[in-house]
């Protein structure tokens, strides 16, 4: 097959069809960086934080958040504290295992976004979501301290909000595994109707090439 050479300033004004290899091949580092690209984290992947062999219960209990199905055709799966009206200060948790994709740019921005709010009623005191995140060291331990630099954030509203949690990315590389523990804390002393904190979505926002 014939080979063709092009000058450095080729200007293509229509479609360019390549039927063989493009040489030299493009490296990932030569591609344009796209910032804050969204990677959905399936809520159904959540685990019991201190017994990771177990899926979340169907309803929040003790210190565990619940994974609720709701009504097919109406509700989507969501993570919930269950009804905590008049329960005082209560914190419930779940755990996600996240892997950074090959296209993640080493050391660039990584943000965990959680859509959260209250169902039926807000808490009469507070309701917050907090995140802890640790890099897995591949030898059954975690590497370093908590990666999350964002404090607990209020979710005490009947309107769901996107809550963003910034991760320290100095030592993050493509392919790394991050363990994320999400804590939902509700403090309610009322005796009225249901007070339920709910997570409707979890996303990882990453700077990528490719």
The boundaries of the domain holding residue 172 are 33-208
Phi and psi, residue 90, nearest 5°: -135, 135
Is residue 2 in some structural domain? no
Q: What pLDDT, on a 0 to 100 scale, did the predictor assign at position 180? A: 98
Please give the residue that has the higher pLDDT: either 55 or 23. 55
Question: Taking residues 118-141, what's their average pLDDT?
Answer: 97
The pLDDT-based confidence of 2 (bands split at 50, 70, 90) is: low
Domain CATH code at residue 198: 2.60.120.260
How many whole angstroms separate alpha carbon 81 and alpha carbon 157?
15
Is residue 18 in some structural domain? no
Is residue 55 in some structural domain? yes
How many whole angstroms separate alpha carbon 161 and alpha carbon 154?
9
* Domain count within the chain: 1
Token pair 């209990």 is found at 61
Q: Which residues of 137-170 are buried (b: 16+ CB within 10 A; e: fewer)?
A: eeeeebeeeebbeeeeeebbeeebeebebebbbe
Is residue 26 in some structural domain? no
Is residue 158 in some structural domain? yes
Is residue 7 in some structural domain? no
| Model pLDDT for residues 65-81, shown as the tens digit of each residue | 999 999 999 999 999 99
Any idea of the CA torsion for 199, 200, 202, 207, to the nearest 10 degrees?
Answer: -130
How many whole angstroms separate alpha carbon 159 and alpha carbon 40?
21
How many whole angstroms separate alpha carbon 55 and alpha carbon 92?
14
Is residue 27 in some structural domain? no
Is residue 58 in some structural domain? yes
Q: What pLDDT, on a 0 to 100 scale, did the predictor assign at position 13? A: 76
Decide if 84 contacts 192 (C-beta within 8 A). Answer: no
């Amino acid at each position: 097959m014939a080979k063709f050479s092009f000058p450095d300033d080729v200007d293509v004004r229509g479609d360019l069809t390549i039927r063989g290899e493009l040489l030299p091949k493009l490296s990932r580092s030569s591609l344009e960086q796209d910032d804050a690209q969204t990677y959905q984290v399936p809520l159904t992947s959540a685990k019991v934080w201190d017994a990771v062999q177990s899926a979340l219960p169907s309803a929040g209990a003790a210190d565990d958040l619940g994974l609720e199905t709701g009504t097919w055709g109406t509700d989507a799966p969501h993570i919930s504290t269950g009804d905590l009206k008049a329960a005082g200060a209560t914190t419930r948790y779940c755990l996600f295992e996240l892997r950074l994709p090959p296209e993640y740019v080493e050391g660039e921005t990584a943000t965990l976004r959680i859509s959260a709010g209250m169902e039926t009623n807000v808490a009469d005191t507070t309701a917050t979501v907090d995140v802890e995140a640790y890099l897995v060291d591949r030898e059954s331990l975690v590497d370093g301290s908590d990666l999350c630099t964002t404090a607990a954030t209020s979710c005490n509203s009947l309107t769901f909000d996107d809550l963003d949690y910034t991760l320290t990315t100095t030592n993050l590389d493509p392919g790394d595994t991050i363990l994320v523990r999400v804590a939902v804390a509700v403090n309610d002393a009322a005796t009225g109707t249901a007070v339920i904190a709910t997570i409707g979505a979890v996303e990882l926002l990453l700077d990528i090439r490719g």
